[in-house]
Amino acid sequence: HAVGSQVGDVLLYYCYCEVRDPEKLCAWQKALCQHLHLTGKVRVASEGINGTVGGSKVATSLYIKVMLSQPLFKNILCQEDFKSSAGGAHCFPDLRVGVFKEIVPMGIDPKIVSYKETGTHLSPQEFHREVEQYLSQATQGQSDTILLDCRNFYESKIGHFQGCLAPDIRKFSYFPSYIDENLEIFKDKRVLMYCTGGIRCERGSAYLRSKAVCREVYQLKGGIHKYLEEFPDGFYRGKLFVFDDRYAICSNEDIISACRYCGVLWDQYKLCSSQHCRQLVLTCPSCCNKGLTACCPVCQEKELKVTSRASEQILKEECECTKRRPRVPIERVSPRMLDTGK
């Protein structure tokens, strides 16, 4: 209908709180989204709620109003906690609301590592000052600080803070193993952590703190999303990856990544053309026209072979790209990754 066709918004938010009856909250949430013709994904758990939803401007502002008046979130969730960007219901294929164990899939029981043990939150201004100081110290080679990106490799590839350490992981559930494997890097360091909207830092910082090796752990409140609202030309360069059909949102014109095939500057992701692959690929228009549309040669080959129903399971996400990123990263952090990213 007409409302849905207008340019609208995509909202990103989360709220950690005690949910006694996740099933009930889930049913309420589903009804609310359907009523407002919102699409997107909402995760509900006994530890809270995490959502990204799209719809008309009228619908998204009503959604925020209703969420803020929901007794469960009283005095915890506030207007500031909703990050919004231009989009709408068309940014998601459908609406998915479900009950999960964790509201962000780190793969560690919330009872073992709780969001309550999180790092110190820094406002975008405070974080900006910290990064500025870190970059000026790092150029003199005397920094006791690590700027840690806790997103996946394909997110940090197209946009990141200058001088960050970006783990080569493809799922947030690999983050704990990454920390375990690289504990010596974090020893006695001040860690500045960031992610898209702040939620991965809530659990990620708690996990890092539970290892008791860092001097201090800080996190960017509201994530890159909030930082870019205040510092569109700050220390974050490139695009911000988002988990919907837009793939990325832009705050500055920098392109920091390249086409996988010819190396020309390019940062527009496409889904790998091989049917069973869920990898994203950076392939520029001219390489696309040459038929280079898969994430790697293995997938390019696979695409050419017409696959039978029977082999579907075996073919699921198996290629060079996935083999390069096992659960426990093999490669240690090289000094190259710690340079100031200029």
Q: Which residues contact 87 (CB under 8 A, 6 or more apart)?
A: 8, 9, 10, 54, 244, 246
Q: Which is the catalytic residue, given 26, 195, 201, 321?
A: 195
- Contact yes or no for 274/281 (Cβ under 8 A): no
Buried b (16+ CB within 10 A) or exposed e, 120-152: ebbebeebbebbeebbeebeeeebebbbbbbbb
What is the C-alpha radius of gyration for the chain, rounded to an integer number of angstroms? 21
Of 288, 280, 243, the residue nearest 264 (C-alpha): 288
Residue 196 CB-density burial (10 A; 0-12 exposed, 13-18 middle, 19+ buried): buried
Residue 14 CB-density burial (10 A; 0-12 exposed, 13-18 middle, 19+ buried): buried
Kindly tell me the sign of the dihedral angle through the C-alpha atoms of 55, 253, 235, 165.
positive
Q: Using CA atoms, how far apart are residues 315 and 275, in angstroms rounded to an integer?
A: 9
DSSP type of residue 121: E
Of 42, 56, 41, the residue nearest 9 (C-alpha): 56
Q: Where do we find the tokens 């539970």?
A: 210
The three state secondary structure string of 285-307 is HHHHHCCCCCCCHHHHHHHHCCC
Number of residues in the chain: 342
Which amino acid, residue 267?
Answer: D
Q: Please say if 296 is a catalytic residue.
A: no
- Contact yes or no for 320/298 (Cβ under 8 A): yes
Q: Annotated active-site positions, please? A: 195
